[in-house]
Structure 1
Amino acid sequence: MRIGIDGRELLRSNVTGIGRYLRNFLSSQVVRCSPHEFVVYGNQFTSPELSGPNVRFRIVPEHITLWWDQVVLSRLAREDRIDLFLSPYDKGPLLLPCPLALTVHDLSFVSFPEHGAFRSRAYFGTRKLMARRADLIITVSKSSKRDILRLFGVREDRIKVVPNGVPDEYSRVEDKSLIERIKHRYRIPGDYILYVGNFKPHKNVRCLIDAYKELPDMLKDKYYLVLCGRRDKFRKEVEIRVRSLRLEGRVIFLDFVPEEDMPVLYSGAEVFVFPSLYEGFGLPPLEAMACGTPVICSDSSSLPEVVGEAGVLVDPNRPELFAEAMERVLTDGELREDLRSKGLRRSRRFSAEDFSRRLLEILEELA
């Protein structure tokens, strides 16, 4: 079988969530040892580094996104006689000569639109149309599946849940000197509480800032709050909140951190906190658990499904409850060790190889 894949998120200079999704799949032993051929379509920004005996890249410049989405991909699929097409997005070519599998990671654009009313309605309309055109919708959690059923109105048997996986590189780092080198590299002068993610409103970082402010002075003096996320248009509001609460110097913004440094950064944190209002899956808490770091996160959307009883779940609308949870974890060594061991066990249920195996099985069934 020849499987076509939209691989534009495999970027040369940046690691996105969808790029990681594709990287985990294409680099897995499940894919590398399969009898199928994978043709990955990319544009001028795509890195072909995952090429292999059964993984081939076709790079075609992209100038107008809609044209590339609908015309170029359909033409390439015909030329290559693709048997099945996998899109890692909630969009895909409508004129394919083969079955189409879309990936809907979440529907945050419905509850937390980033554009005006007209553009938001148009975006939702096109995504709903594409979902109904697709032969199969792949999603990453039962929570997202419920959202798709409710908002897109597609048949339940056309939706398959394939939870994300964590690569083996995400594991506990015990080397204290390595942790200290990473702290020095990113100018973290002491022990720290960690958040990883962007600064969009639904990530609810303001709640974390407010919760950190409510910690006893003794704990704020001992633990910095480290916010790890690429600078975006929403970060300025968070920076303003930090200044208004006079937390400059205690809250550290890291901007971009290469993936190879992330396991060390997670392992060095005393606790990982994730106050998001909405997630389709929620990979950062899982990565933190895989690195043996205690997790506190919201009890909303997919997060209880991912974290289970291995973390402390908190109402994301209550900063004072996040403050209480952080104080409890930071001051109770036995609780921290219990959360570490539970998190490590929980994370093993979400391996990258299991994710790849399940995804490939579903594609084979569709074909």
Structure 2
Amino acid sequence: MSLEVHFVVPGRLDQKTGGYIYDARVIDGLRARGVAVTVHELPGSYPMVDQEAILEANHALARLPDGALVVIDGLALPGVAGALMIENHRLRLVALVHHPLSLETGLDEARARTLRQLEQGCLARVHRVVVTSRHTAEALLADFHMTPDRLGVVEPGTHRPPSPAVGSGTRDLNMLCVATVTPRKGHALLVEALAGLTDLPWTLTCIGSVTRDPGAAAAVQDAITRRGLTGRIALMDEIGPDALPSQYHGADLFVLPSYYEGYGMALAEALSHGLPIVSTNGGAIPFTVPGDAALLVPPGDVDALRGALRRVLGDAQLRSRLTAAARAAAQALPTWDDAADRFIIELSALEPRLRHALAAD
């Protein structure tokens, strides 16, 4: 009998956000180890779902065969919340939580409360929960009534570039930010911080979707224009995975002022390229980024962010120390092969035969 895993994701799998990239890499790893993976892409808007999205999600689970091993991306949980009360008796269900949905920046109190209740109910009805960081594991244990026996951690992998970043080689230090433009990633705060540093030589390249949250992207672009930074800040859209490594390779500094991260895959990629980092201590970031490789400031504190950027931009010796620590930390980062192996171990709690995929690899 062949081994099969069903992955349920909201929307298309090929979206270029950390969560979708994680899912796709793990799926590739499972397939490379001989596991058959069927992906079910749910239509509709998430995480705030309408009746059509709920109906389609319910049908997706109802069509699966009895005993199927099903991994549900955490973003899809609001759509399948009702179905889990019925399907958890015949399906083996795993929730893959990148970060608690209720902690998304910009939610009003009522929406955050609704998402928290939905997610808490869903996690109680699945048979296992996989999270992508120790920080998220601790949050679920503390606030979501999760028990350690049902919880596992599989951190994202990183690419291992052939050599560390060489930098821009120009007088203007090139800062790089890789993140979808949403309120949680802090682009608007970054623009305000940089508006007070025009006396220093720098440029900033922001890579990430400007269409996922058009309102947030428009606000950031407006701030760039109002602050007279059009020639210094490039707000780019998504680029292909083959083009992204060269952006890291040519950067002098990586910056990501997120209000919250469930792990921080872009930060791990920056470490893998040996880049010094300026970020925040929001969520899992201090778990992902060693303190000696970065300056971390409180989320939402524009003065602290501006001060950290001024220090790094103006002090070559500090940048050198941060760079050396980042290069050292890169050696300990997990690869995507490591992540796939670990994911199989977590799934084998519900399907012991999956361990043979590791033994045969």
- The interval holding the TM-score normalised by the smaller chain is 0.7 to 0.9
Residues 229-287 of structure 1: per-residue CA shift (max 9 Å, x gap): 21122112222222332223222111222121111111211111111111111111111
User: Corresponding residue for 1:223?
Assistant: 202
**Distance (whole Å) between structure 2 residues aligned to residue 11 and residue 154 of structure 1:** 28
Candidates 82, 95, 98, aligned match of 1:102? 95
- Describe the SS at the equivalent of 1:192: strand
After TM superposition, the score normalised by the length of structure 1 is: 0.79
- Gapped runs of 5+ residues in structure 1? 46-62, 181-187
Q: How far has the Cα of 1:126 moved from its partner?
A: 2.1
Paired AA for residue 317 in structure 2: E
After TM superposition, the score normalised by the length of structure 2 is: 0.81
**Distance (whole Å) between structure 1 residues aligned to residue 299 and residue 110 of structure 2:** 29
Task: Verify: 1:279 aligned to 2:261, yes or no.
Answer: yes
User: Corresponding residue for 2:72?
Assistant: 87
Q: How far has the Cα of 1:299 moved from its partner?
A: 1.7
**Distance (whole Å) between structure 1 residues aligned to residue 106 and residue 128 of structure 2:** 25
**What are the equivalent positions in structure 2 for 1:45-194 lying under 5 Å apart?**
64-78=52-66, 82=68, 84-90=69-75, 91=77, 92=80, 93-94=83-84, 95-96=87-88, 97-110=90-103, 112-114=105-107, 118-168=110-160, 172=164, 191-194=173-176
Q: Percent identity?
A: 23
Q: How far has the Cα of 1:24 moved from its partner?
A: 1.3
**Distance (whole Å) between structure 2 residues aligned to residue 130 and residue 189 of structure 1:** 52
Q: CA contact under 8 A between 1:148 and 1:154: conserved in structure 2?
A: yes
Q: CA 1:111–1:26 in 2, change beyond 3 Å: closer, same or farther?
A: closer
- Describe the SS at the equivalent of 1:137: strand
Q: Once superposed, what is the RMSD of the aligned Cα atoms?
A: 2.9
**What are the equivalent positions in structure 2 for 1:184-263 lying under 5 Å apart?**
191-215=173-197, 217=199, 219=200, 222-231=201-210, 232=213, 233-263=215-245
Q: CA contact under 8 A between 2:172 and 2:202: conserved in structure 1?
A: yes
**Distance (whole Å) between structure 2 residues aligned to residue 98 and residue 365 of structure 1:** 14
User: Corresponding residue for 1:268?
Assistant: 250
Q: CA 1:338–1:169 in 2, change beyond 3 Å: closer, same or farther?
A: same
Q: CA contact under 8 A between 1:149 and 1:155: conserved in structure 2?
A: yes
- Describe the SS at the equivalent of 1:193: strand
Q: 346-355 or 133-142, which moves further after superposition?
A: 346-355
Paired AA for residue 135 in structure 1: H
- Gapped runs of 5+ residues in structure 2? 45-50, 352-361
Q: How many residues align?
A: 330
Q: CA contact under 8 A between 2:131 and 2:137: conserved in structure 1?
A: yes
Paired AA for residue 89 in structure 1: G
Q: 193-202 or 264-273, which moves further after superposition?
A: 193-202
- Describe the SS at the equivalent of 2:94: strand
Paired AA for residue 240 in structure 1: D
Task: Verify: 1:340 aligned to 2:323, yes or no.
Answer: yes
Paired AA for residue 32 in structure 1: A
User: Corresponding residue for 1:363?
Assistant: 347
